[in-house]
Amino acid sequence: MRVAMIGTGYVGLVTGACLADFGHVVTCVDKDPAKIESLLAGRMPIYEPGLEQLVARNVREKRLSFSTDLAPAVKDAAVVFLAVGTPSRRGDGHADLSYVYGAVREIAAAIEGFTVVVTKSTVPVGTGDEVERLIREIRPDADIAVVSNPEFLREGAAIEDFKRPDRIVVGVEDERARTVMAEVYRPLHLNQGPLLFTQRRTSEMIKYAANAFLATKITFINEIADLCEKAGADVQEVARGIGLDNRIGAKFLHAGPGYGGSCFPKDTLALLRTGQEYGAPLRVVEAVVGVNDARKSSMARKIIAALEGNVAGKTVALLGLTFKPNTDDMRESPSIPIVYALQDKGAHVRAYDPQGMEEARKVLVDVDYRDSAYDCLEGADVAVIVTEWDEFRALDLERVKELLKQPVIVDLRNIYRLDEMARHGFRYESIGRAAAAP
């Protein structure tokens, strides 16, 4: 089957490469000539484990190609996926759909024959209706069906998530489109990926509801962590204890500095806006957004407290900058407000991240970027673990102790054991657990 993928961002590139790997013939289209030129040269615009090899293999097998020219790709395609950005709109937090509607206008002009137009971008409820209305307005003769097919990819594990999904949600209003989408995802039947067909608006809501619920779980355990610190309990044991309940589950119960990334922050805001528009305010989600924003700032206060309340003129070494490991994504990362707050208090900030420093330089200035964890730690007054990259999980603690001016570590991801840190002579502050002292 011939597929056009409009947008070569995170979702579009991963989805296009995976569909090509299934045997479909995929053309990925993007307006940015530099991005397409880079992809044609085999350079990925994002870091995602395994993506470069996946793209190279399918380009070599002539199942995957890249272009800036939308019209021929859409003309030849049975299915056109919309995978353009829907960032938060300034002022009201609603999803900015200008990129979606701009792409739809171009698609409408290029369609030939029966075409399924699939919204892969995260969009508010009712967007599919507007996409269909817009196409029919521009091309009354067009034979189309508009489908919602939200993505549920985790950055850092996107290829695995696509090929072995928990579920594939498809919102359809047309039986022909249902048949086409079943064929698109037929290769996943071998992995028993459940294909859930719903109405289009229901599919759009599923995406937002899923992300809001996961953001709520993260925020809930973070508040419990604060209480654990005050009450002398261990949040990791609490999370394990409640996670063994099948009604709750263990995932997304890891206390930390708050959620970030490309999805949860903007999707929770967009969902709040949708609730307001429909007269159905979402009080729980509203609280989640507020608590999460406040939490990121509170992490800087935790670091300052570990240095006796004063960081002026002191060097703070941050290990990790991205919002999670195995990505270079800095969007809404907790590291950003942490750095700003530390700099406001007069600290000198050093940082090292295995993949994120190029993106970090675009948003964080006056930071001393280093080439390795140990280089970053040398002579610093405190080490702060912000992102739980694997290479930070087994640092040579004796070497770390020698490099630091004083043996103080603030671990915002709880990747070390309290007894281990005490044995090595560190003052160790973590999340939702008692402080360890030498």
Q: What residues act catalytically?
A: 263
- Per DSSP, the residues of 116-150 read EEEE-S---TTHHHHHHHHHHHH-TT--EEEEE--
Expressed in angstroms, the distance from the first to the final Cα of the chain is 63
Query: Which residues are 31's β-sheet partners?
Result: none
DSSP symbols for 219-258: HHHHHHHHHHHHHT--HHHHHHHHHTSTTT-STT----S-
Query: What is the spatial distance between Cα 197 and Cα 206, in angstroms, rounded to a whole number?
Result: 12
User: Nearest CA to 211 among 270, 158, 257?
Assistant: 270
Q: Which amino acid is at 192?
A: Q
The CA–CA distances, whole Å, from 291 to 216, 272, 286 equal 10, 15, 9
Residue of 317, 320, 325, 321 whose CA lies nearest to 376: 317
- What are the backbone dihedrals phi and psi of residue 88, each rounded to the nearest 5 degrees, phi first? -65, 135
Q: Are 204 and 127 in contact, with CB atoms under 8 Å apart?
A: yes
> Residues 100, 119: contact at Cβ < 8 Å?
yes
189 token code pair = 């039947």
Is residue 323 within 8 A of residue 332, CB to CB? The reply is yes
- Give the dihedral of Cα atoms 206, 211, 217, 219; nearest 10 deg: -140
- The Cα-based distances of 61 to 45, 49, 163, 185, 366 in angstroms read 21, 20, 19, 20, 45
Spatial CB neighbours of 159, under 8 Å, sequence gap ≥ 6: 14, 17, 18, 48, 49, 50, 51, 54
Tokens for 400?
A: 């770390």
Rounded Cα distance between 44 and 362, Å, is 18
The residue written with tokens 């750095």 in the block is: 339
Q: Which two tokens stand for residue 85?
A: 């950005």
Q: How would you classify residue 113: left for phi > 0, otherwise alpha for psi between -120 and 50, otherwise beta?
A: left
